[in-house]
Amino acid sequence: NFGKSLNLETRQDKAGNVLIKKPASKGYESGKTIIIQSHLDMVPQKNADVTHDFSRDPIQTYIDGEWVKARSTTLGADNGIGCAMMMAVLEDNLLNHPPIEALFTVDEEVGMDGAFGLQKGFLSGTVMLNLDTEEDGDLCVGCAGGTDVNVSFQFKPDEEIEKGDVAFKISLTGLKGGHSGTQIHLGHANANKLMNRFLKDVVRNYEARLANIHGGSLRNAIPRESFAVVTIPEQLSEDLVDLVNEYESLFREEFSGIESSISFKA
C-alpha cells in the first residue's frame, strides 16, 4: 500500500518479497538501475514476564538520551532502520537519482528465506546496496558467516522423583541478550551457559536431578533468560538456596560493568 500510495509500481512475489520501482530523476534516465534492499522481519524476543504478541502488538518504545529503546522486547531496528531509509528515498521528490528498485525481503532472520525465494526476472538492476548494516555512513564490503547446529541424543528419563526429594525452579533473568553476530563482541552473558555451569555443579555435588530446562528463544540471539527445574533431597534444600546465592554473586562479579541486572533465584 505504501508504494501504491506514491503511485509507484509495486509488486509482490510468491515468497512475500515486495518490490517498489521509482523512475529516474530527469537527466538520470541513462544511469544504472540501483537496487536498495532491507528485510521486513525482526528478531521477536521478549522477557518471560512480558505479554506481547509480535504479530499484532506494537513495540513499546521510549527515549533514553539519544537512543530509542524498547521495553522488555527487541526493538526491531534490525532492519526497521533500513526499511525506513528506503521509504524516505521513495517518497522524496527532491533527490536526483537513477532508476531505483526498492526490495523489501522477508524472513531474513530465520534463514534468508525471502532472498532465496527470489525468482529470475523479478529484479532488473545489477548493482545492489544492502541497508542491513550497523553504522551510519559505513560501507561494508564483506561479512562473516554463521552456522546452525542441531544436537540430539538419547537418554532414559526417570519416571518418578526419589522419595524425600523436593523440586526447585531455578531462574536466571535480567541479562541484556543481544544479536549473536553484531553484539557478540560486547561480552554480554549467555544465560544458557551460566545456567549450565550451575547445573553441572549442583548435579555433581548436591545429588540434584534435572527435570526441565529452557533458555533462549532464537538461534541468532544471545539468550537473556534461562530456567531449570531440579529435584534435590529435602535435607539439602538450604544448601541449594545458598549455592544459588553464591552463583548470583559470582555472576555479578564476573560481568561487572557489562551486566547490571543479573538475577539468579531459586
Neighbours of 165 (CB within 10 A): 18
Which pTM does this prediction carry? 0.60
**CB neighbourhood size of 86 (10 A):** 23
* Helix, strand, or coil (residue 168): strand
Catalytic site residue 92?
A: no
Q: Find all residues with CB under 8 Å of 87, minimum gap 6, and list them.
A: 2
- Residue found under cell 502488538: 57
Q: Longest C-alpha distance within the chain, in Å?
A: 84
Domain residue ranges of the chain, discontinuous segments joined by +: 2-130, 165-265
| Range 2-130 classified under CATH 3.40.630.10 | yes
> Residue 230's closest CA among 205, 197, 262, 207?
207
In order, the DSSP letters of 171-225 are EEE----EETTTSGGGT---HHHHHHHHHHHHHHHS--EEEEEEE-S-TTEE---
Specify whether 41 is catalytic: yes
78 vs 27: CA distance, rounded Å:
34
Q: Active site residue: 108, 109, 225, 259, which one?
A: 108
The pLDDT, as a whole number, for residue 18 is: 98
* Residue with more model confidence, 159 or 24: 24
The reply to whether omega before 79 is within 30° of 0 (cis) is yes
Residue 147: predicted pLDDT = 78
10 Å CB burial of residue 150 (0-12, 13-18, 19+) is exposed
pLDDT of residue 12 exceeding 80, the answer is yes
What is the predicted pLDDT for the residue at 144? Answer: 64
Average pLDDT over residues 150-159: 84
C-beta neighbour count of 146 within 10 angstroms: 9
SS3 82: helix
Quick check: 142 pLDDT over 80? no
214-224 as b/e, with b when 16 or more CB fall inside 10 Å?
ebbebebbbbb
Task: Report how far apart, in Å, the C-alpha atoms of 103 and of each of 7, 39, 106 are.
Answer: 16, 8, 10
**CATH fit for domain 165-265, picks 3.60.21.10, 3.30.2310.20, 3.30.70.360, 3.50.50.60:** 3.30.70.360
Res. 172: pLDDT tops 70: yes
In sequence order, what E strands does the chain have?
9-12, 18-22, 34-39, 61-64, 67-70, 100-105, 127-130, 165-173, 178-179, 209-215, 221-222, 226-233, 263-265
Separation between Cα atoms, residue 223 and residue 99, nearest integer Å: 42
Grid cell locating 106: 522477508
Q: For position 171, what pLDDT does the model report?
A: 98
Burial of 227 (0-12, 13-18, 19+ CB in 10 A): middle
Residue 170 has pLDDT above 90, yes or no: yes
How far apart (Å, rounded) are the C-alpha atoms in residues 32 and 242?
67
Pick the catalytic residue from 41, 78, 165, 248.
Answer: 41
Q: Exposed, middle or buried: residue 235 (CB in 10 Å: 0-12, 13-18, 19+)?
A: exposed
